[in-house]
Structure 1
Amino acid sequence: MDQASKKQHDLLTEPIPKLLIRLAFPVGVGFFFNTMFNVVDTFYAGLISTQAQAAISLSFPLFFLMIAVGSGISTASTSLVGHALGAGNREEAELYAAQTFAFALLHGILLSIVGLATAPKIVAMLGAKGEYLEFALSYIGAIYSGAAFFILNQAQNGILSSSGDTKSFRNFLITAFLLNLIYDPWFIYGGLGLPPLGISGIAWATVCIQAVGSLYLFRKVHATGLISWRTRRLALPSFIAFRHLAALGFPASLTMLTVAIGVFVITWFVGRYGSEAVAAYGIATRIEQVLLLPVMGLNVATLALISQNSGALRFDRVKETVKCALSRGLMLVSLGSAAVFAGAGALMALFSKDPMVTGTGAVYLRFAAFVFPAYVVLYINSFALQGIRRPQISLALGVYRQFIAPLPIFWLLSNHLGWGLKGVWSGIVLINWSAALISLVVIRKVFKGLGKV
């Protein structure tokens, strides 16, 4: 048995707690360096001008769309390839791995065409004018030119995760961060035969790094044996395989897009209390993201384990995975929640010296400390549902949590009851906990349908 096959077999036999740690830790580290990658971009954009920095922020919705599509394809490939491997159907696993490549490339090309065609109108609609508009279009135009690399890398990560390899993508993200420290100033200011590219240099540096990553990740996927020159004929687009990838990938992408909608809704309500409140919310959510990195690792580990074990009809291990991931996740965030509640003011002061911003953000973080456990329950259950190929349920929960519930609840608490900004913060707690409890009821019912209580 080769090393790649042994890793795949381990997901069906090794103790779940051990596997969760082995799979989750590299993902958490990778997400951290991915966050730092974005921090580097923001830093160098600020050296160009405040407008350049704002242009990157303004371009985020378009960038997020690409991230959502890539994440959905990654989730679909992990679920389908992992399920086939767990069922012992190697030929089907190779088919879905090859079709994932074709599916990802097709969507990458379509995103480039549609993104480049629609970006000017969308960015202008968001309020950009003059030099501000030029900066935003220069940045997002370069990003969308390389959309295929972004999507392909996410797809390859999905294939690797399905076979138990979460380290390769971590290695890519660490290397990407280090390369970005060199590439950003080089592409911005020019040198060694490269002309100065300004803000578009930040984007082109990212695209080049993603292109290099595509080659590295392909080597790793090839090493699993799921993709080879022998199986290249399997990459010819198949309607049935594309339909299965779409059935799992599109709901996952839409679930992620509901997050963007939720942020927009919250920001709209918060914006009525002034720019300081918006700044405070923005800073506080970045602090939240860093503290939730370990949970993101557990999400990917849960998806990989459940995909293979449900394919092998090992529903006892599926249930154990969810229980173990929930217990580990809740234990981790309990420490984070206590730290955030006690040090909210100090954490905000790291990012702003404005007393109104730090004060408002500290109040939000103290509310958020009570939401962290709900995030664990929601995320773990959502990825578990995707692993057993029930993505529509995750999408429904996302629509409820990000769109349906916030509008009436925020209005009721902040306006009707007169709680103001604290009404929005209270609403976030209430909405996420209600969604978490609904997810627990739903997943218990789904497990009963699989033959397990």
Structure 2
Amino acid sequence: MDLTQGNIRKQLISMAVPAGIGMLFYTLYNVVDTFYAGLISTEALAGLAISFPVYFILLAFAVGFGQGATALVSNLLGAKKEEDAIYIYIQSLTISLLLSFVIGYITYKVSEPVFIFFGASDLFLENGLHYMQTLAYGAPFFIFANVINSFLYAQGDTKKNRNALIIGFFINLIFNPILSLGIGPFPALGTMGIAIATILCQIFNVVYLGYFVLKSPLSQKFKFSYCKLQTKMVFDIFKQAFPASMNMLLIGIGFFIIQKYVTGYGANASAGYGIALRIEQIILLPAIGLNTAMLSMTGQNYGAKNFERIYEAFVTSLKLALFLMVFGSAILFLAGEQMAFLFTRDTEVIQIAGSYLFMAAFLTFVYQVIHQSGSVLSGMKKPTINAFYTLLRLAIIPPFTFYFFSQTLGLGLNGIWWAILCSNIIAAFLIFFHMRYLIKKEGSAVSANSAT
């Protein structure tokens, strides 16, 4: 799809809807994980919740390399350099495959010390380790699937990944209870079984998405010589992918910080926070597809040096996202605890989840400004700036706001929630104005060069 011309609104929607539906099913299979963990025990539920930050180490590199490849390939496609786009895509695949084994090993090794640092012990610790260390073995599939899909995203094709995620949801729905609870000849593996079901989904994604990449007309330009790593291209890939990975990793570090404070209030607080995050993800889903659409839209138009179209697309996308969040926020505001009741019958856990979701009703609007601005910066090959603002809102500001709301104002656990909102509001203002400044600056430079 040529995103450098045509109706912006229609193109955004045509990309965002499939991407949003795909993310819905991705989140739903995470919800399935949470549901069956709740059937196992509260410790299993808390084990999954405490695994979330470590899981982000793995996810950071998977998404980072995927976003990096999408930005690079879409830029070259926008500049009408198709052969170069294939070349750098193959280089990205080669690098990601080699690094995935190292990343899996690191994820495996850091799990136990991190969980102990959070205060996990006994069954709480055991369940978290069984889940996370098993997932570490699937690292190559997580990372490779994301980079394979980047080729399709760069062309504005979000439908194939949507289909993969829908089918993956049903694979998980079938194998999750079989492996975690034990059905027929299969033993009950607990949280380890939940992780194995997730790995099976990722294996399917690699095969399914890889098939459509091979069928793409652009793949006909492939040469085996492209697999041999070239120093300049490796540098270009890392220049884009490493900051994008760090951006995701910083999100994980942010969750480390939040989880550390939350776990200080007990296992129920950790379980409630974990449930609330799953619900929040579902509410944010309708707008998440727009983030993906803006990355592809910005990438192609940045390659074509069409800065006016980039900002017009941003404004259009943000309006659509904010409109969608009106409904999501209303649901969180009015029915947060009722939604938490679907995952557990523990009254205290439900109340904790509900208190977070009440705050999240306001946070959803703030997230849209942050995420849309971040997609534009990534598409403009400026992931380092995006990573800086992620660091600011999740690691630098929170310790101060946490102390102020939780300790100084004496709000306790609820203070943590309102500190999260405050930190994100500050970051939203800063990243938006920085993004707008860069678009105007580079757009003016292009106009000046054209005039001369």
Structure 2-normalised TM-score? 0.88
| Matched residue, 1:423 | 415
Query: Does the 8 A contact of 2:46 with 2:267 survive in 1?
Result: no
1:364 aligns with 2:356: yes
User: Which residue in 2 is equivalent to 1:432?
Assistant: 424
- What are the Cα deviations for residues 277-328 of structure 1, in whole angstroms up to 9, with x where unaligned? 4444333332211110012111000000100011011112111111111111
Aligned to 2:237: 245
One-letter code of the match for 2:424? Answer: N
The answer as to 2:250 corresponding to 1:258 is yes
Question: Which residue of 417, 436, 441 corresponds with 2:433?
Answer: 441
Question: Aligned partners of 1:134 and 1:254: how far apart in 2?
Answer: 28
For the Cα contact (< 8 Å) 1:98–1:232, is it kept in 2? no
Partner of 1:71: 63
- Cα 1:324–1:399 change in 2 (3 A) is same
Alignment length (residue pairs): 444
2:299 paired residue number: 307
One-letter amino acid of the structure 2 residue matched with residue 416 of structure 1: T
- The answer to whether the 8 Å contact 1:71/1:154 transfers is yes
- Residues in 2 aligned to 1:117 and 1:275: alpha-carbon distance in whole angstroms: 23
The offset of 1:272, in angstroms, is: 4.9
1:24 maps onto 2:16 in alignment: yes
Give the match for residue 104 of structure 1: 96
The 5-angstrom pairing of residues 36-435 of structure 1 reads 36-46=28-38, 51-116=43-108, 119=111, 136-187=128-179, 196=187, 198-199=189-190, 200-228=192-220, 230-273=222-265, 276-435=268-427
* 1:339 CA displacement: 3.1
1:354-376 Cα offsets, whole Å, 9 max, x none, are 55544444443333222211110
Q: Provide the rounded CA distance (Å) in 2 between the counterparts of 1:423 and 1:127.
A: 21
Task: Provide, for residues 382-419 of structure 1, a one-character-per-residue CA deviation record: whole Å limited to 9, x for no partner.
Answer: 11100001111111111110011111122123322334
Aligned-residue offset at 1:210:
1.8
- Offset, 1:233: 1.8
> Structure 2: how far apart are the matches of 1:273 and 1:185?
31
What displacement does 1:140 show?
3.5
SS at match of 2:362: coil
DSSP-derived class of the 1:291 partner:
helix
Q: Which moved more, 1:425-434 or 1:38-47?
A: 38-47
* Counterpart-to-counterpart distance in 2, 1:128 and 1:414: 22
Distance in 1 of aligned mates of 2:183 and 2:424: 50
Question: Do the aligned partners of 1:97 and 1:227 also contact (CA within 8 Å) in 2?
Answer: no
2:229 alignment partner, SS class: coil
Cα separation, 2, equivalents of 1:361 and 1:138: 25
Distance in 2 (alpha carbons) for counterparts of 1:282 and 1:91: 45
d(CA) in 2 for partners of 1:32, 1:231: 36
Deviations 1:180-223 (A, max 9, x none): 2223344457899x864724443333323322321211111122
Are the structure 2 counterparts of residues 168 and 19 from structure 1 closer, same or farther at C-alpha, using a change threshold of 3 Å? same
Q: 1:444 to 1:135 in 2, by over 3 A?
A: closer
**Which amino acid letter does the alignment assign opposite residue 189 of structure 2?**
G
Residue type of the alignment partner of 1:222: L
Larger deviation, residues 256-265 vs 403-412: 256-265
Partner of 1:3: none
Question: CA distance change for structure 1 residues 430 and 304 in 2, over 3 Å: closer, same or farther?
Answer: same
- Higher mean C-alpha deviation, range 330-339 or range 21-30: 330-339
CA distance, structure 2, for counterparts of residue 280 and residue 138 of structure 1? 21
Determine if contact 1:316/1:452 at 8 Å carries over to the other structure: no
Deviations 1:62-82 (A, max 9, x none): 322111100000110110000
Structure 1 residue 138: deviation in Å? 4.5
Post-superposition CA distance 1:41-67 (Å, at most 9, x none) = 344445555555554444433322111
CA change 1:219–1:450 in 2 (3 A) is same
Q: 1:205/1:124 Cα in 2 relative to 1: closer, same or farther (>3 Å)?
A: same
Percent of residue pairs identical: 36
In structure 1, C-alpha distance between the alignment counterparts of 2:410 and 2:442, rounded to whole Å: 46
TM-superposed CA distance for 1:345, in Å, is 4.2
Distance in 1 separating the partners of 2:350 and 2:324 = 25
In the alignment, structure 2 segments of 5+ residues that lack a partner are: 446-452
Equivalent AA in structure 1 for residue 314 of structure 2: V
Aligned mates of 2:63, 2:194 — CA distance in 1: 22
Answer with 86-95 or 205-214: which moved more.
205-214
Deviates more, 1:42-51 or 1:363-372: 42-51
**Distance across 2 between alignment mates of 1:360 and 1:119:** 26
Give the drift of 1:85.
Answer: 0.1
Task: State the alpha-carbon separation in 2 of the partners of residues 129 and 418 from structure 1.
Answer: 28
Write the letter of the residue equivalent to 1:94. I
User: Which SS does the other structure have where 2:223 is aligned?
Assistant: helix
Query: Under a length normalisation based on structure 1, what TM-score does the superposition of the two structures give?
Result: 0.88
Q: Which moved more, 1:34-43 or 1:211-220?
A: 34-43
Instruction: Flag the 1:372–1:113 CA change in 2: closer, same or farther, 3 A.
Output: closer
* CA positional deviation for 1:266: 2.8
SS in 2 for 1:292: helix
Maintained 8 Å contact 1:48/1:198: no
